[in-house]
Structures are given as C-alpha cells and as structure tokens.
Amino acid sequence: MSIVKINALTVPAEMRATLEQRFASRAGVVEGSDGFEWFELLRPVEGTDQYLVYTRWRSEEDYQNWMSGPMQAAHGGGGQSGRPQGEGDAAPRPAATGSSLWSFEVVQQTGPKSA
C-alpha cells in the first residue's frame, strides 16, 4: 500500500501568510512526479503553531526519487524553507522555524460511499 509523509512545520503567526504564499506559488511542482498520489497543506486552527504538509506516495522509492530530484529543485537545491525555485539568488528568510518529518504506511483506508 501507499506511504504517507507528514512534515510538521513550526510557523510563527507573522510568517503564516508567507508560508502559504510560497506553497501556492509552486503549485503543480509535485503533481507530475512518478508515484505521487496526494498533497495537502494543513493550517492549524487552534492549540498549535504547526502546519502539516501531507503527501501520499505509491512507495518509499517514489518519495525518495522525488526528494533527490524535483523537490531539491523546488527548494532551490535543498532545505525546507518553502522557497520556490527562481525566487532570486538571495535566500529569503525561512517561513518555518523548525520541522519534523513523520513517515507512515497506509494499512487501511476508506472513502465516501457512492450515492
């Protein structure tokens, strides 16, 4: 079954709009990647300053291939700053002050019933 990668990004309140804009500006970067299944950027509603970046992949190998190729290009050669490729030579201040990557295997899933 699929694997899920969740990057928990600690984002100060004053950098939330910046983070969201950076992700929006590189929309489409991951969608064409082999093995990619799903992406969501989750904004915290209450009780935390952590955004969750949820991606779902066909396999760990597909995720690693994306990490070593298109993801590095999207981040200007590496890092987790949320900076889209081509944003200039001077690296802008990272929107997140910290991150933690969580990995899961999908062992059970369901969807809505057809009407």
Based on the structure, what is the number of domains in the chain? 1
Confidence of residue 80 (pLDDT cuts 50, 70, 90): very low
pLDDT one-digit tens code per residue, 5-64: 999 999 999 999 999 999 998 888 889 899 999 999 999 999 999 999 999 999 999 999
CA distance 95 to 23: 11
Check which CATH number belongs to the domain holding 9 and give it. 3.30.70.100
Q: Answer whether residue 110 is part of any domain.
A: no
Helix (H, G, I), strand (E, B) or coil at 105: strand
DSSP string covering 34-52, please? TTEEEEEEE---SS--EEE
67 within some domain: yes
- 27 occurs within a structural domain: yes
Higher-confidence position of 79 and 66: 66
In tens, the pLDDT along 97-112 reads: 899 999 999 999 999 9
- β-pair partners for 4: 56, 104
CB 12 within 8 A of CB 67: no
The answer to whether position 115 is within a domain reads no
Structural domain includes residue 111: no
> What is the distance between the alpha carbons of residues 70 and 110, in angstroms, rounded to a whole number?
30
Let me know if residue 113 belongs to a domain: no
On whether the CB atoms of residues 35 and 66 are closer than 8 A, the answer is: yes
Q: pTM score, two decimals?
A: 0.78
Instruction: Answer whether residue 101 is part of any domain.
Output: yes
57 domain residue, yes or no: yes
Domain of residue 14 covers: 3-105
Q: Phi and psi dihedrals of 79, rounded to 5?
A: 85, 175
Structure tokens at 14: 């004053």
Alpha-carbon torsion, ordered 12, 95, 65, 106, to 10 deg: 20
